[in-house]
Amino acid sequence: MKSIRQALVLFLLAFAFFSFNQSEKPNSSEKPPNILWLVAEDLSPYIAAFGDSTVSTPNLDWLASEGVVYENVFSPSPVCAPSRSALATGMYPTQMGANHMRTGPWFMWPLPPAAEKMFEQQEKDGARFYEAVPAPEVKMFTEYLRKAGYYCTNNSKEDYQFRRTLTAWDECSPQAHWKNRKEGQPFFAMKTFMVTHESQIWAKAKDSLWVDEDLEVPVPPYLPNTEVAKKDIRRMYSNIKEMDAQVGEMIQELKDAGELENTIIVWFTDHGGPLPRQKRLIYDSGLQVPMIIRYPNKERAGTREDRLISFVDFAPTAMSMAGIEPPAYMNGKAFAGSYEAKEREYIYAASDRYDESTDALRAVRDSRYLYVRNFKPELPRFLHVSYRDQMPIMQELYRLRDEGKLTPEQALWFAETKPEEELYDTWNDPHQLHDIAGEAALQAKKTELKKALENWISSTNDLNLIPEDSLLTKIWPEGHKPQTATPEIKKVAKADGSGSQFIVTCSTPGATLAYKIVERGGNPDNQHWNIYHKPVDAVPGKEFVVVAHRIGYNPIEIRHE
């Protein structure tokens, strides 16, 4: 009787796991497409496909001619780590407490020894590092793709405001590549191009240029039109050309492997531009990004799309492209694929702490108007960030400010206070320099956007509007980072008597379970972990290693022979 009961329990467990996995299988009998995300850092729409012909970008031009140009794409944050938390989860950073830049050294894991030493010193000097703690149901969306059979790789920036779970990627390293998958296996791959990052304005200052050293470059009215400034802007355009060449290499790899027409290529940037009053600012210069998607067989080639898209829409869209229904908890909705949703009416954004300086701004934008709510109007628009001070153009702004030589447009950034509300007509004021919040004819529009913003703040339970110390108390109720519970491993006989298998459970809600089978005493690395979703056969003479990890908690490893 005992063996019958045991067999029945195993059957029911297997049935439950089978049913769970079936819900994440692609909703199509056709082979799912590959999906390749090519992500440039810190870049506004400064390429020809978006109207800026300062430099030629032949690879992006080709992508645009064979794909769809998306003209109204926005990050929920004007800086990388919060933006990437949205890309990874389909959730607004503010709902996860992930909007401060940054919560800790989570741009890669594990950290290189030099970086680990640097952050240890910062903690000794008073810095307090933590991880965002989203709701238990929130997962990195690539976990759903992996469960559906996708091979998922990241090369290699992470920066999600939390440590990645081992279930998120098959490979996550500078060597990660979709070519390492099994034959015929669909892949999702993400490649980040660091060359356009803000830091490369000064880090590459002495490198040879990819453009003429006297190239005439456009200077936004909020930046100084001096040779010092133009030199940095010229470097930005040089870095764009270098990035374009790297994109070309990725496209050529697809062609050489015969995978071009099996792959959806998505090129975009992680937030607005690298220059002062771009990155970290809640205007279009910090939030709006270019995006081009090439679909297999040049579907919709050469077209343009003006629907509003937020980064929270990217995760559900990737799942939708793969034929997988996105989970209902995600804030975003798919803008393409099998589960494409209706167009959104607004995009939302937030701006809080950047390194040593803190403010609190929220914004909502429709297709034309941008409304900004300043929760600390007593503070200036300008927040000092010492990291940015390394850029010569920033030093040029300081010099002109101190000499009283800033133009009115440039001086706006350095005003001692700011209004509680701002409103801009982005069609007629693309740089958001003329606040029209007080215009009588626009009061109805301002009220509409203000109400939409208030509803968003309330419905998403904005955690970053509370003081950061209070946020830590909320996510760390015991005063320290929570710990994922030790998983329970049971080794039971298989129903057919052919050996044993492991059944694993974890009492922490939302914990993911990753496993490997290794030699006794072996030290598994951080690559190629399997997602536990059904009993695993034991291998005689080898160890079964499990890591349980809820996002924002400390993970825990356990072994069983």
Residues annotated as part of the active site: 80
At residue 209, what are phi and psi to the nearest 5 degrees?
Answer: -90, 150
337, two tokens: 């694929």
Cβ-based burial of 19 (10 A; exposed 0-12, middle 13-18, buried ≥19): exposed
Please give the sequence-ordered ranges of beta strands (E in DSSP) within 240-345, or none if there are none.
263-269, 288-294, 303-305, 309-310
Nearest to 142 by CA among 197, 84, 102, 83: 84
Please give the sequence-ordered ranges of beta strands (E in DSSP) within 445-535, or none if there are none.
488-493, 500-505, 512-519, 530-531
CA distance 102 to 492: 45
Nearest to 545 by CA among 487, 494, 498: 487
In the three-class reduction of DSSP (H, G, I as helix; E, B as strand; rest coil), residue 347 is classed as strand
Q: How far is CA 245 from CA 242, 290, 387, 501, in A?
A: 5, 17, 28, 50
User: Residues 6 or more apart from 185 whose CB is under 8 A from it?
Assistant: 149, 150, 151
CA distance 75 to 270: 7
CA distance 80 to 161: 10
CA distance 390 to 113: 24
Up-side HSE of residue 61: CA atoms within 13 Å toward CB?
11
At residue 269, what are phi and psi to the nearest 5 degrees?
Answer: -120, 160
User: 522-551 as b/e, with b when 16 or more CB fall inside 10 Å?
Assistant: eebeebebbbbbebbebeeeebbbbbbbbb
User: 118-131 as b/e, with b when 16 or more CB fall inside 10 Å?
Assistant: eeeeeeeeeeeebb
Return the number of other C-beta atoms located less than 10 Å from residue 481's C-beta: 15
Edge to edge, the sheet with strand 488-493 lists 488-493, 500-505, 536-537
414, two tokens: 């350095």
Three-state SS across 171-222? EECCCCCHHHCCCCCCEEEEEEEHHHCCCHHHHCCCCCCCCCCCCCCCCCCC
Residue pair 162/85 in contact (Cβ under 8 Å)? The answer is: yes
